[in-house]
Chains A and B, each alone.
Chain A
Amino acid sequence: MSLLGADSRREIEIHRYPLLVYALVLLGSLVLQAWLPRVVGRYVWFDLPLVVIVYFALGRRNPMQGTLMGAAMGLFEDALSHNAIGINGIAKTTVGFLAGSVGIRIDVDNHTIRVLLNFALSLLSSAIYLFVTRFLLGLAVEWNGLTELLRAVGNGVIALVLFPLLDRLQIRD
């Protein structure tokens, strides 16, 4: 993982996208996340909104944008379930902030680094979800560690395919 110095940080490229791409990709991830489980059944080993949040937060290299994007997407996900609104919101807010913060410090154009980051942030998101539900709210929640691991792997695989495709939608000078 190549760390960047303070001088080179100013020179690094910030990925920019048309506003329509933001809107369609974010909305598309929410819609597909809600629709695909009907096709794959119980094997919902992916979290498309999380993958998209990580991608944009890393590319934009802006923790605040990552935080806001994560909060909005997490709240929408909560609203589609019957669970309390805010659990996914907190998890994805944190993930968006961390991805944006990491984007400032490392070279995020490297595919391997992005996929590994995606894997790690997926696990972190699951851990925050569990912490908030069980320890902060005191709600009974049954947990399957293997499922969370598989979900992180699934997110990594999706990132491997999706990130190069989304890179093509950048605005290039």
Chain B
Amino acid sequence: MESFIIRYRNLVVLLALLMAQLVGLAVQVRRTASGSSALDDTDASGVRLIRLWANALISPPERLIHASKIGFAATWSNYIDLVHVRQQNKDLENTVDRLRLEEAALLEDARQGQRLQAILGFQEKYIYSTLAAQVYGSSGSDRSHDFFIDKGWRDGLKPDMAVITAEGIVGKVRDVFPHTAQVLAVNDTTSGAGVILEKTRIRGVLRGDASGQLEVVGVTADQRIQPGEHVLTAGGDLIFPRGLPVGAVKKVVRDPDRDGLVDIILTPAAPLNRLDEVLVITSTEPRFPPQDEKDLKASATEESAVPAAVKDQMKASEIMAEKLPGLIDPNLPPDQQPLNDNSNPNPAAQPPQPLHPDEFSPSANDDSNAGPGSDSTPKPKGSSAAPASPGGAATPAPKSNPQTAPRRNP
């Protein structure tokens, strides 16, 4: 027996290692309710230990390489490549001013939304706090779309926290180590997130395909889905807050497995293959974060500095609306009110001329041009405008005598 093992030791070692790994794999895979196989979401302690060792071994040199690259890039961009920075700064300041005013305009809508949600007993959760992190490495394989960030549980990260950028969602935290964390990208085949199409309000599940493309799968075919439509998070997956950008519709293809359903291929909003910095959403609350509140106050202050003339103008139109309610249509926006509308293509038609004019005909007396509301009672023939008063001030015309008989035309 001993000689057999020695003689075939290479083969014995191979078989032993293969068997050990197969048993290890069998432990990690479980049957789902639908009868298919799936990986356990949570790693067993032994598996987690191997991941921890691999991370401890690979992360330090990887972070060193990444830091060197960042250092070089920072030296270049901060000290050498400073062309147009002044102009960019000016442009950015203008953008910030504009955004503050826009934010102030949206503030009331948001608060109204909060009040309505409170009435309905529904609490929308806002991104309350985030943590910025650097992406320094990946899994190294296109078969699994995940990457590593330089923040871990010591920084407060936990599994299933959402990871985003300013452009859109990126993924969720999968494994957390002391100083690093593994993030599962949204374009992985095992990923999943609830999304909604912005205009058509069609809901679906987001995942990645084998080539790393984003797709919304299992959507009922609908002619309204057009390329370019934006896709947002639906908020039902308890990971991503509602309304975050996901991407735009690139094309719609037939679902190869299910008749009548389509898959929507997306162009991701965030550059998933070239991420440098990401934000991890560490908490969501049903209220605005302190920084947003501060910004909103600043926006409100700026809004109050809007030129007074604009406000006076608005006030004048409100007074007019009060005095002349008939000229204000409550169903129309202010700029389309008949009072302000000079572009009426169908002006009021002149009344038709009578076939047989009589004393009631508008042209039968001299006051035919009197406007509505003026005293159009026929005056006796020969009467004229009242003479000017000695003082030069015009005296009002005497009221016609209601007892005067109406004059008939011949």
Q: Is B65 interfacial (CB 8 A cutoff)?
A: yes
A82 touches which of B17, B66, B182 (Cβ 8 Å):
B182
Kindly supply a per-residue 1/0 record for chain B positions 136-158, scoring 1 wherever the CB is within 8 Å of any chain A CB and 0 otherwise: 11111111101110000000000
Counted as pairs of residues, one from A and one from B, with CB atoms less than 8 Å apart, the total is 156
Taking a contact as CB atoms under 8 Å apart, the answer to whether A85 and B143 are in contact is no
Q: A86 touches which one: B21, B57, B148 (CB < 8 A)?
A: B21
Q: Are B21 and A81 in contact (CB under 8 A)?
A: no
Q: Count chain B residues whose beta carbon lies closer than 8 angstroms to a beta carbon of A.
A: 55
CB atoms of A86 and B141 under 8 A apart: no
A117 at the interface (CB under 8 A from B): no
Residues of chain A within 8 A of B140, CB atoms compared: 30, 33-34, 36-37, 44, 77, 80-81
CB within 8 Å of B: which A73-110 residues: 75-77, 79-87, 89-90, 93-94, 97, 100-101
Q: Which of B28, B29, B39, B138 contacts A38 (CB 8 A)?
A: B138
Please determine whether B50 and A64 come into contact, CB atoms closer than 8 angstroms. no
Would you call B36 an interface residue if the criterion is a C-beta within 8 Å of the partner chain's C-beta atoms? yes
* A27 cross-chain contacts in B, Cβ below 8 A: 57-58, 61
User: Which B-chain residue is minimally distant from A48 (CB atoms)?
Assistant: B140
Count class of interface residues, chain A: 35 or more
Contact in complex: B36, A138 (CB < 8 Å)? yes
Is A144 part of the contact surface with B, judged by Cβ < 8 Å?
yes
- For B39, B51, B58, which residue has the most chain A Cβ atoms within 10 angstroms? B58
Bound-complex Cα distance A87 to B29 (A):
12
Any B CB within 8 A of the CB of A67: yes
Query: Chain A contacts of B141 at CB under 8 A?
Result: 33, 44, 77, 81
**Across the interface, do B14 and A38 meet the contact criterion of CB distance under 8 Å?**
no
**Cβ contacts under 8 Å, B184 to chain A:** 82
Q: A84-B25, A93-B21 are in contact. Are A67 and B14 (CB under 8 A)?
A: yes
Docked complex: B59-110 residues within 8 A CB-CB of A: 61-62, 65-66
- A34 touches which of B14, B25, B58, B211 (Cβ 8 Å): B58
Contact partners of B9 in chain A: CB under 8 A: 64
* Set of chain B residues within 8 Å of A101, measured between Cβ atoms: 10
Give CA–CA (A68, B39) in the complex, Å.
Answer: 26
Chain B residues with CB below 8 A from A18, complex form: none
Given contacts A27-B57, A82-B182, A138-B36, is CB(A64)–CB(B13) below 8 Å? yes
User: In the bound complex, do residue B17 and residue A139 qualify as a contact, i.e. CB atoms below 8 Å apart?
Assistant: no
Task: Determine whether the beta carbon of A41 is less than 8 Å from that of B274.
Answer: yes
Given known A64-B9, A93-B14, A142-B209, contact A34–B57 (CB-CB < 8 A): no
User: CB distance A35 to B144 under 8 Å?
Assistant: no
Question: In the docked arrangement, what's the CA distance between A30 and B62, Å?
Answer: 9
Contact A132 B25 (CB under 8 A): yes
Q: Evaluate whether A67 and B13 lie within 8 angstroms (CB atoms) in the complex, with A30-B58, A138-B36 already known.
A: yes
Query: For the complex, what is the distance from the CA of A146 to the CA of B29, rounded to whole Å?
Result: 28
Quick one: closest A residue to B64, CB to CB? A31
A83 and B25 in contact, given A31-B61, A67-B17 (Cβ under 8 angstroms): no
Q: Which residues of B contact A136 (CB under 8 A)?
A: 22, 25
> Which A9-51 residues have a C-beta within 8 angstroms of B?
27-28, 30-31, 33-38, 41-42, 44
Q: Could you say which of B10, B182, B190 contacts A63, with CB atoms under 8 Å apart?
A: B10
Q: How far is the CA of A157 from the CA of B41 in the complex (A)?
A: 38
Q: Assuming the A-B contacts A71-B17, A79-B54, A80-B139, are A85 and B10 also in contact, with contact meaning beta carbons closer than 8 angstroms in the complex? A: no
Picked from A79, A82, A132, the residue with its CB within 8 Å of the CB of B50 is A79
- Considering the complex, give the chain A residue whose CB is closest to the CB of B135: A38
Expressed in whole angstroms, the minimum distance between the Cβ of A169 and any Cβ of chain B is 19
A170 interfacial contact with B, CB 8 Å: no
Q: Is the CB of B18 within 8 A of A94?
A: yes
Q: For A31, what are the chain B residues with a Cβ–Cβ distance below 8 Å?
A: 58, 61-62, 65
Give chain B interface residues in 16-60, CB to chain A under 8 Å. 17-18, 21-22, 24-25, 28-29, 36-39, 47, 50-51, 53-55, 57-58
Q: A93-B17, A100-B10 are in contact. List 10 more A-B contacts (CB 8 A).
A: A31-B61, A33-B141, A37-B142, A38-B147, A41-B274, A44-B142, A82-B175, A82-B184, A85-B47, A138-B37
Question: 27 A-B residue contacts at CB 8 Å?
Answer: A30-B58, A33-B141, A35-B138, A37-B139, A38-B138, A38-B275, A44-B141, A63-B10, A71-B17, A71-B21, A79-B50, A79-B53, A80-B51, A81-B140, A82-B184, A84-B29, A84-B39, A85-B50, A86-B25, A86-B28, A100-B10, A137-B25, A138-B29, A139-B37, A141-B189, A144-B211, A147-B211
Query: Which 3 A-B residue pairings sit nearest by Cβ, starting from the closest?
Result: A142-B210, A79-B54, A138-B37
